[in-house]
Every structure is written in structure tokens, then in C-alpha cells.
Amino acid sequence: MKVNFVFQQPNLPPLVELAISWFIFLFGATGPIVIILAFVGIRGFLHITRFESGEGILYKLSPLTKLIIVISTTVAVSLTIWWFGAILTLVFWSLFFTLNEAKRKVLYVSYLLLSSILGVSTGFAFYTPYSVLQMAFNTNTLNVIWVWPSYFSFAGYEPYLTLQALYYGFQITFRFTAPMLAGLLLILTTTPSDLMRYLAKVKFPLPFIFALTVAMRTVPRIFDTLDTVVKLQLMRGLGYGKPSFLRPFYVLIAGLYGLVPTLIFLMKGAKYTAIAADTRAFNSTPRRTYMKEVKYTKADYVAWGLIVVLFVTVALLLAFGYGRGIPYVGY
């Protein structure tokens, strides 16, 4: 199908256009990195992936209920129009206010959200072929808002940035953000041992639950260890004397170098975890007993009610033609 381009880009001197194109190219590629490194940092990830006890409503829900919320959210956003995903994103973002030390967590997760929106939007908008946009928006007319230098095509860019491509990228973002926030909330408000008990209840094999528990405990420890390894490398002179604006790149390089030392450190500790589990007769029988009984509270029943409401809303949206408006077909 032939594409009709309506050129609406600003009329600027060629040099200014070139400078802006390169700025957008660099901002599109490095913007999310700068946001994450400058504001969240490696230690910031530790705070938004580590359980800390609290009193909010989410701490009272059973892990299974929270897992069902994560799965239901994914199903809901994958079936419905983009703004429903945006609403769910807002709902989950608001729930961060109910957490322990909410202010810091909301701040970190907001930076992460902004970075994800920028990253995913530009990740899709600049590269999406026009044929996909034609299919997604059911139109042959695309509004050009920027013309890239022709050599940008070597980096995979489409020749023109269109308004429809920006919409496409932005709307797709909410397919990722809502489940991402729901997943983080689950991790932040659930102890690994709680999750273990509930997964055992639904007959998940015990060794898998154990490995999963170890993995859950390991995620924040990875950030902690990697942060130390990165700082040690910087202390030993990596990037010393270089301009300060290059610092984030040296942090990235240190992160790259830090992979193997981090793994060795974590794996060396594995035998102590194994000894600790074995001395408690782990895996000596196919099933084990738990001191704490698995129980569901009033909060769980309310949450299940809300999940039903979520699916009823999805069904209504689909019935009224607010289903998946833009197909996620990638590029």
C-alpha cells in the first residue's frame, strides 16, 4: 500500500536540523541510561527489589493473590486499549505510596517509569516501519514531524519520524509498565519464605521453590555486590582524571567488568546456603511441613473481588470496542 506523507516538520536551517537530529539520536539512546544512573543508581535498584516489612495493605495480602494480580494485569493490558494500561500503571504507581519508606521508593520507581517510557517509546517510534503504522492506525496518511539525515538509516532508523510512530511507541509503553510495577510491588511486599509456603500449597515442586527463593533473595544482593565491585574499580582509578560527564560511561564499563567478580562472590556463598538448608533436612522428604499456616485474610477476598471487577471491566471494554487498538507486532 502506498504511503502518503504530510510534511509538517519545522522549517529550520540545515545545520540546526542536523544538530537537533543528533541530539535526539543521543538523547533517545542515552537518555534512559542517564536517568537511571544519575537518579536511581545501582543502589536504587536494591531499594526497589528488596523486601522490607511494613504495615500497608499490600503486606497483608497473600503472595498467591499478588501473583494472580500480576498475571491478571498482563492479561488485561494485552487485551485492551492503551489507556486502560495507562490507568492500571497509575493505580500501581499510587500503591507505592502505601509501602514502607514510601517517599524514596516512589521517587526511584518514578525515575524507572520515566526511563522505561522514554526508552520503550523511542525504541519503537524511530524504528517502526510505515507498513506497521498503516496496519496499526488503519491509514495511508502519515504526518511527518521530523526528517532524519539519510545516513541514520544505517542505524536502523526510518527516514522520517511521524506523529503516528510517536503515538505507537508511547501507547505500547503501557503494555510493559503496568505488569512491571505490579511485579515490583509483589517483590517489595513479599518475603521469599512467604512465597515459598504459598507455592508449596499449589504443589509447586519443592526444589524449584527453593531455587526460586534463593533467586528472590539474590536479586537485591546482586545490586549490592555489583555496586561494591563498581565502586572498588572507580576507587582503583578507572576513569580517573576524565571529564565528569563521562562518569556514567565509566560506571557502565565498571559494571561490565564487574560481572565475573560478582558471580564468583555470590557463588562462593552458595555452599553456606546449602549447608544451612541441609542442616534443616531440606529435601529429605518430598513434602515438608510449615510452622506458619497458609491462610487467606479478608484483604485477599477483597483483592479477588477486585480482580473479578478487573476482568468484568476488560470484558465491557472489549464489548464496547475498546479492545487492543494498536497491535503489538514489533518491528
Partner 1 sequence: MGFNGIGGYLNRPGEIPVEVIIAYFVFALAIAIILGKRNGGLKAFKTVDWVYIGIGAAAAYVWEFIIGAIIGRAVPSGLSNFIDVGFWGRLFIVFIVAALVRKVGAGMITLFLFNFFSDLFHYGFSGEPMYFIYESLTYGLFVDLGIAITGGKIFGIGVTGSTSKVVALAAIEGGIIGFLWAFPDPIFYGAFFKPFLYGGVVNWSRIIYDLISFIPGDVVIGILAGLASNRVQKAVQV
Which 285-324 residues touch partner 1, going by CB under 8 A?
323-324
Exactly one of 119, 125, 137, 162 binds partner 1 (CB under 8 A); which one? 119
Exactly one of 127, 250, 257, 296 binds partner 1 (CB under 8 A); which one? 127
Dihedral (Cα; 321, 330, 45, 227), 10-degree rounding: 180
Nearer residue to partner 1 within complex by CB, 106 or 196:
196
- The interface region with partner 1, picked from 8-16, 28-36, 95-103, 138-146 by CB under 8 A, is 28-36
CA distance 126 to 121: 8
Nearer residue to partner 1 within complex by CB, 11 or 138:
138
* Closest approach of partner 1 to the CB of residue 298, in Å: 26
Distances (CA, A) of 57 to 168, 170, 191, 269, 318: 35, 31, 15, 35, 30
Exactly one of 16, 232, 259, 312 binds partner 1 (CB under 8 A); which one? 259
Which 182-241 residues touch partner 1, going by CB under 8 A?
182-184, 186-187, 205, 207-208, 210-216, 218-219, 222-223, 226
CA distance 244 to 145: 34
Phi, psi of 56 (to 5 degrees): -65, 170
Which 63-102 residues touch partner 1, going by CB under 8 A?
70-71, 73-75, 77-79
Nearer residue to partner 1 within complex by CB, 263 or 309:
263
* Closest approach of partner 1 to the CB of residue 167, in Å: 19
Nearer residue to partner 1 within complex by CB, 259 or 309:
259
Select from 66, 21, 7 the least CA-distant residue to 157: 21
Phi, psi of 80 (to 5 degrees): -110, 175
Exactly one of 268, 287, 292, 295 binds partner 1 (CB under 8 A); which one? 268
Specify the length of the chain in residues.
Answer: 331
Which 33-52 residues touch partner 1, going by CB under 8 A?
33, 36-37, 45
Exactly one of 278, 301, 308, 312 binds partner 1 (CB under 8 A); which one? 278
| Contact assessment for residue 288 and residue 200, using Cβ atoms and an 8 Å cutoff | yes
Pairing mode, if any, of strands 4-7 and 141-147? parallel
Count residues near partner 1 (CB under 8 A): 72
Q: Which H, E and C letters describe 39-55, residue by residue?
A: HHHHHHHHHCCCCCCCC
CA distance 205 to 266: 24
* Closest approach of partner 1 to the CB of residue 11, in Å: 28
Quote the DSSP letter at residue 219: H
Select from 66, 326, 8, 55 the least CA-distant residue to 171: 326
- The interface region with partner 1, picked from 50-58, 92-100, 102-110, 258-266 by CB under 8 A, is 258-266
- The interface region with partner 1, picked from 15-23, 139-147, 179-187, 308-316 by CB under 8 A, is 179-187
Q: Which strands, in side-by-side order, build the sheet including 160-162?
A: 4-7, 141-147, 160-162
Nearer residue to partner 1 within complex by CB, 141 or 283:
283
Which 151-170 residues touch partner 1, going by CB under 8 A?
154-157
